[in-house]
Amino acid sequence: MDPALLNPSVVAPPAWLGLGAMAVLLGEVFLSRSGRGGPGGPGSGQDVSELRLGTTLAGLALAALVLALYTAGASFVAGVHAPFNPMRPMLQMDPLSSAAMVIVATGAALAVMLSITYLPVLRINHGEYYALVLLSTAGMLVMVCSVDLLSLFMGLELMSIPVYVLAGFDRRKLRSNEAGMKYFLIGAFATALLLYGMALLYGATGHTDFAGIREGFDPESGLAMSGLGLVVAGLAFKISAVPFHQWSPDVYEGAPTSVTAFMSVAVKSAAVVILVRFVALALPESTGALEEAFWWLAALTMVVGNVMAVIQTNVKRLLAYSSIAHAGYLLVGFATGTEAARAAILFYLLAYTFMNLGAFGIVVALARGGREHEKIDDFAGLARVRPVLAGLMTLFVLGLAGIPGTVGFIGKFQLFSAAVAGGLVELAIVGVLASVVSVYYYLRLPVAMYMRDPLDDTAAEASTSEVVVLTLCAVAVLALGLWPNTPTLPLLDWAQAASSAIP
Amino acid sequence: MESWLQGSILTWVTFLPLATAFGLLGSTLLALFLKTKPLSPTVWKAVALAGTLLTFLLSVFGVWARFDPEQSGFQLLERVPWMAEWGINYFVGVDGISLVLVMLTTFLMPVVIVASWNDIGRSRRTYVFFMLFLETGMLGAFTALNLFQFYVFWEVMLIPMYFVIGIWGGPRRVYAAVKFFLFTMVGSLLMLVAMLVLYWANFEQGGALNFDLIDAGAAQGVAILDTVLPVESGEGTPWWATQFWLFAAFAVAFGVKVPVFPLHTWLPDAHVEAPTAGSVVLAGVLLKMGTYGFVRFALPLFPVAAVTFVPLMFGLALVGIVYGSLVAMIQKDVKKLVAYSSVAHLGFVMLGLFALNLQGVTGSVLQMVNHGLTTGALFILVGFIYERRHTRDIADFGGIARPMPVYAALFGIVTMASIGLPSLNGFVGEILILLGTFQADRWVAVVATSGVVLAAAYMLWLYRRVMFGPVVHPENRGLIDLDWRERLVVVVMILPMIWIGVQPGPVLRRIEPSVAVVLDHMAQRGAALPGRAVDPEPGPDEPVETARWTPDVEGAP
């Protein structure tokens, strides 16, 4: 194939993951035969081979991460060109793509590591799980470097369809089935919106690539504006912004926790990044209406997400609403729309990845014997039974609440600072008041863990892989909260570079 | 002392408690790892006591002794880039105002640890850890000369206090802890937005991102305290960029902590539920965070707005004094009474601050220290009787002086200090505040003086009901008087009360020049303060007189 058309440095990361998925599926066929007749029966996790499989896959994901990190240093722009339009690239590798790839791959790798001992607990230890995660991640990697609506759509579908399956992966549980079905239906609806929007944009501008759309975009045209609105709405479903959020609490609650962790960080990050890219590249400098729309989306999302979280009694549901609220904080960055705000969004995604994965990681680590400890009541007295887990959970929720000293504060500070610099003080006030509400529900976990007596003392030991994930997240939350920009790990500069790479 | 210690004395003082805490935590993790027995809680307490005592000694010999009272600006400066690209530096230093509060903090902590030696029944190691953590948080906030750094410490301090109330508190501890946290958060986050507005206004004037309060020579741009902020909104100046609203946001944040009258409702809950040590630190130091915030940030940053707010603040302070005193009078619970007396006392402090003259503000700063000592001692004394009787109801006592004469005597001295008996510390602070207020507005001073009378009334009435009369309840007959540890604690607290009462000079001499700088700075920035030079048209183009904030330019007079 002509190397000008297919640049391996762009295609390698997703292709690598796709190959990994294939390898997993093949390996599943050969390896799991030995274990199927074992004492626990299919999927019980009794056989060692599947555990090994999981570990291999975590390694694979990490390898992809390393690859992405390798490309992150480069600032070159390369592309995969559509055969019928050699002048316009469909995929583009630039600092923004590589930054997004690092974020997404980090989330995916950590989520995979959380799954290794969690799946056997739920008796759903099938290799397909890992293949689906890898495929979905490959879709994200395609999506985040798209500069064309077609490749965007392809990446989005490749990302979404495996996640629909993953959400319903615990097929013996009704809740998980419901989650999968609901996510699929809503997802299909969102996809339809997106596709329709793309069609309208193509009709209005005559182009599917971002640069072409930008040239042909006329803010006065109703066709173009409705296309834009539909595309934004379609992506808003993926990042669960209010009013497109109703699916997320049910899906987050029903899906296996490791999948929830994966969805809440990786899927959301990928969708946010492509929205950043779309808004920056495909639209003219200022479309006042869009910023206005983002203003309201942000305000609504922050308020509704935080207020609804207050009444939850299930930790996964609570984190689902908190994840909606965090989408709201990210939307503040969109409403601001400056370069600094984009950098803030990227940094916040990374921060959020560590905090949220940490919090879900604790829920994963507490699940034992086929039963999940996911009610707030299940956390009662945890500090006495498992002080280290309780301490880590406290750290993660304090991070999510944005208490100084954690990376959550640096992220929020940067976002709101950009908003204030852009004159959106009212939105910043709405945001901080909403985060006061968030403090209330986040504190319910430390209250349960430290200020109540344990109901039972059978809480589980965390497994090695979980300990690794949790330690990594905790170190990241603290270290990046205190030193976000060290010479060895200049994450702020890095986000800044990724943000300024696109106009 | 070694020079490496001298060069960064404030960092040592601030972080020694935290280092102690992490050392202890590390020892436990190590024991877990080596499968040996972790250190016993008693060892933890002993190490914590040693750590806080060392912190106190360092602050006496390294900070207080080396502080030059002749200089008005910040001293013992240290500045290390932190997130330099955002103008965030680790920047510490003390002036007279923060100096006395640092001393108060380092003094109170070892006392509190000894006072609560047998008080905490469970999770004692965690408790020690949080107390040490808390001390670093408070010291960090008092010494911070970078607004961002201040905010970090100001918020971080909440976490250990929240746990101290919530884990070791009374029956309604969770409610009290969460209320405490949320009230403070509302104010803090609004302040954060105001800080950001200030930050970007500062950027426009200086052309560089900067969070340093004063110009340290190395920083680019304009120091935060020299930022000129618009008074009126109008063309190019939205409502939120005016001094009025920025002051309001800061005032809510600090007002919650003080607490100023309508924002005070968390305080009685927190005090009643908190364990003794929590109450002492809360009343002794944490409330001062609010008043300190006013004098350090809100007044010099937004001088014109501060003057506009004087009538409102006077009003709220008076309500706080009178209402706090009256509510204190009818309390049945001793601890709640002391808690409400705090509202009244802090009302005096606010009054002095907003008198905006040398006597008033100096008296206020002194009164912050006084209140920390006397109310801290009162809470400790209440804690001692609670440990013996497990009740704090005034009705359950009476005639305590008979079985516990030493207790009654010490309680009497502290009561006298609290109501402002001359030759004890409370008198000096109150008289200065009233002098200052009288100059500002004589009728306000007249009403405020009634607070002094009311304070005497509720405290003496409390004393009579608890200590004197026949021993009504047979349980009280066998009460054991204070042991040597408890006597030591209270006597150690009383010594500085007498010292400040008899010889306030050394303290006032350090506070006063720094207060003068604040007031001069306000006057230069356009605040109409009687007796201070008013700069007619402050603007960014004029040469900014920052000399007085920085000691190296100032020199000895």
**Residues contacting B104, CB < 8 A, separation 6+:** B284, B285, B288, B368, B369, B372, B373
Across the interface, whether the CB atoms of A450 and B174 are under 8 A apart is answered: no
Over the stretch B262-284, which tens digit does the pLDDT of each residue have? 888 898 888 888 888 889 999 88
> Does the CB of A423 have a partner CB in chain B at under 8 Å?
yes
Taking the Cβ of residue A446 and every Cβ of chain B, the question of whether any pair is shorter than 8 Å is answered with yes
Of B167, B178, B238, the CB nearest to A443: B178
Distance, CA of B139 to CA of B522 (rounded, Å): 26
Does A443 reach chain B within 8 Å, measured CB to CB?
Answer: yes
Judged by CB atoms closer than 8 Å, whether chains meet at A432 and B163 is answered as no
What pLDDT shows up at residue A38?
39
End-to-end CA distance of chain B: 27
Look up residue A197 and give its two tokens: 């929007």
Average pLDDT taken over every residue of chain B? 86
Residue A110 contacts residue A355 (beta carbons within 8 Å): no
**Cβ pair A439:B185 closer than 8 A:** yes
Q: How would you classify residue A10: left for phi > 0, otherwise alpha for psi between -120 and 50, otherwise beta?
A: alpha
Q: Is the ipTM above a cut-off of 0.85?
A: yes
Helix, strand or coil for residue A457? coil
A432–B151 CB contact, under 8 Å:
no
Cis peptide bond N-terminal to B262, omega within 30: no
Q: Give Cα separations from A32 to A50, A122, A127, A170 (angstroms).
A: 7, 17, 8, 19
- Cα-to-chain-centroid distance, residue B54: 21
Q: Does A338 touch chain B (CB under 8 A)?
A: no
A184 touches chain B (CB under 8 A): no
Residue pointed to by tokens 């230890």: A125
Interchain CB distance below 8 Å, B190 and A425: no
Q: Which of A384, A420, A450 sits opposite B163 (nearest CB)?
A: A450
Contact A204, A218 (CB under 8 A): yes
Contact B238 A425 (CB under 8 A): yes
pLDDT at B541: 47
Nearest CB among B166, B173, B196 relative to A416 is that of B196
Show residues of chain B in contact with A409, CB under 8 Å: 152, 155
Please, how many CA atoms are within 13 Å of residue A34, restricted to the half-sphere of its CB?
A: 7
What are the CA-CA distances from residue A226 to residues A211, A222, A232, B204 (Å)? Answer: 19, 6, 10, 38
Q: Residue A256 in contact with residue A118, Cβ under 8 Å?
A: yes
- Give per-residue pLDDT as tens, B206-235: 888 888 888 776 557 788 888 888 887 777
- What is the per-residue pLDDT for A5? 58
Chain B nearest-CA distance from A248, in A, is 27
Q: Chain A partners of B151 at a C-beta cutoff of 8 Å?
A: 404
Report the distance separating Cα B382 and Cα B376, nearest Å. 10
Cα–Cα dist A131/A24, whole Å? 6
Prediction pTM value: 0.91
- Residue A42: left (phi > 0), alpha (psi -120 to 50), or beta? beta
If pLDDT is split at 50, 70 and 90, which confidence band does B4 have? low
Burial class (CB in 10 A: 0-12, 13-18, 19+), A84: exposed
The nearest alpha carbon in chain B to A438 belongs to B182
Distance to chain B for A463, nearest Cα, Å = 16
A417 contact B CB<8A: yes
- Position B553 scores a pLDDT of 38
> Sign of torsion, CA B150 B153 B155 B161?
negative
Identify the contact set of chain B against chain A, taking CB-CB distances under 8 A: 82-83, 85, 123, 126, 151-153, 155-156, 158-159, 162-163, 166-167, 173-174, 177-178, 181-182, 185-186, 189-190, 192-193, 196-197, 199-200, 203, 238, 240
* Cβ within 8 Å, pair A425-B156: no
From B179, which residue of chain A is nearest by alpha-carbon distance? A440
Cα torsion B27, B33, B39, B44: sign: positive
Q: What pLDDT does residue A407 have?
A: 92
Partner residue facing A439 (CB), from B181, B190, B196: B181
Residues from chain A that touch B196, judged by Cβ atoms under 8 A, are 416-417, 420-421, 428
d(CA B407, CA B386): 13
pLDDT in the model for residue A368: 72
| Per-residue model confidence as pLDDT tens digits over B19-52 | 999 999 888 888 888 888 888 888 888 999 999 9
Token couple for B12: 């040592």
What tens digit of pLDDT does each residue of B373-396 get?
Answer: 999 999 999 998 888 888 888 888
Given a contact cutoff of 8 angstroms between Cβ atoms, the answer to whether A404 and B156 are in contact is: yes
Instruction: Specify whether the CB–CB gap between B422 and B501 falls below 8 A.
Output: yes
**Which of chain B's residues have a Cβ under 8 Å away from the Cβ of A478?**
none
Cβ <8 Å between B182 and A421: no
SS3 of A314-376: the string is EHHHHHHHHHHHHHHHHHHHHHHCCHHHHHHHHHHHHHHHHHHHHHHHHHHHHCECCECCCEH
Contact A398 B167 (CB under 8 A): no
Which of B167, B192, B237, B242 best probes binding to A when mutated, by most A CB atoms within 10 angstroms?
B192
Q: Find residues 383-412 of chain A whose CB sits inside 8 Å of chain B.
A: 383-384, 398, 403-405, 409
Q: Report the alpha-carbon distance of residue A166 to residue A130 in Å, rounded.
A: 10
Which residues in chain A are closer than 8 Å to B166, comparing Cβ atoms?
446-447, 450-451
Q: Is the CB of B200 less than 8 angstroms away from the CB of A420?
A: yes
- The H or E element that residue B90 is part of is strand B88-94
> Nearest residue of A to residue B86 by CA position?
A414
Q: CB under 8 Å to A3, separation ≥6 — which residues?
A: none
Provide φ and ψ at A51, rounded to 5°.
Answer: -65, -40
pLDDT, position A412: 92
A259-263, B397-401, B457-461, B514-518: least confidently modelled range: B397-401
Which two tokens mark A484?
Answer: 């976000």
Nearest chain B Cα to A394, which residue? B159
CA distance B82 to chain A (A): 7
Long-range pairs for A493-497 at CB < 8 Å and ≥24 separation? Answer: A493/B85, A494/A72, A494/A95, A494/A99, A495/A99, A495/A343, A495/A344, A495/A346, A495/A347, A495/A350, A496/A343, A497/A75, A497/A95
Angle at A402 between CA A400 and CA A406, to 5 degrees: 90
Residuewise pLDDT in 10s, chain A (503 residues): 344 556 666 777 787 778 878 877 777 777 655 444 433 444 444 454 555 566 566 666 666 665 655 555 554 555 565 555 666 778 887 778 888 888 888 888 888 888 888 888 887 777 788 888 888 988 998 898 888 888 899 999 999 999 999 998 888 888 888 889 999 999 999 999 999 999 999 998 888 888 888 888 888 888 888 998 999 999 999 888 888 888 889 999 889 999 999 999 999 999 999 999 888 888 877 667 888 889 999 999 999 999 999 888 899 999 999 999 999 999 999 998 888 898 899 999 999 999 999 999 998 888 876 667 788 888 888 888 888 888 899 999 999 998 998 999 999 999 999 999 888 888 999 999 999 999 989 988 988 888 888 776 666 677 777 888 899 999 999 998 888 877 777 778 778 877 777 76
Nearest to B195 by CA among B301, B59, B307: B301
SS3 of residue A6 by DSSP: strand
Q: What is the pLDDT of residues B163-212, one digit of tens each?
A: 888 888 888 888 888 899 989 998 899 999 999 999 988 888 888 888 88
- Spatial CB neighbours of B354, under 8 Å, sequence gap ≥ 6: B306, B309, B310, B313, B314, B317, B360, B440
- A432: nearest CB among B123, B162, B192: B192
For chain A, what is the total number of helices (H) and then of strands (E)?
21, 2
Identify the closest residue of chain B to A421 by CA–CA distance.
Answer: B200
From B178's Cα to the closest Cα of chain A, the distance in A is: 7
Picking from A432, A439, A451, the nearest residue to B193 by CB comes out as A432
**Contact A310/B at CB under 8 A:** no
Q: Does the distance separating the beta carbons of A436 and B182 come in below 8 Å?
A: yes
Of A89, A34, A24, A27, give the one whose Cα is nearest residue A61: A24
Q: Please report residues of B whose CB lies closer than 8 A to that of A492.
A: 83, 85
* Cα–chain center distance at B192: 20
CA distances to A299, A335, A402, A420, B316 from A424, in Å: 11, 8, 20, 5, 32
Does residue A219 have a cis bond before it (omega within 30 degrees)?
Answer: no
Cβ contact, residue pair A423, B238, below 8 Å: yes
Angstrom distance (rounded) from CA B495 to CA B509: 19
Contact between chains at A443 and B162 (C-beta distance less than 8 A): yes
Q: What share of chain B is helix, strand, coil (3-state, %, to 5)?
A: 70, 5, 25
Q: pLDDT-derived band of residue B551, with 50, 70 and 90 as boundaries?
A: very low
pLDDT of residue A52: 55
Q: How far is A137 from chain B (nearest CA, A)?
A: 33
Residues contacting residue B363 through CB under 8 Å, at least 6 positions apart: B352, B428, B429, B430, B431, B432, B433, B434, B435, B436
CA distance B189 to B185: 6
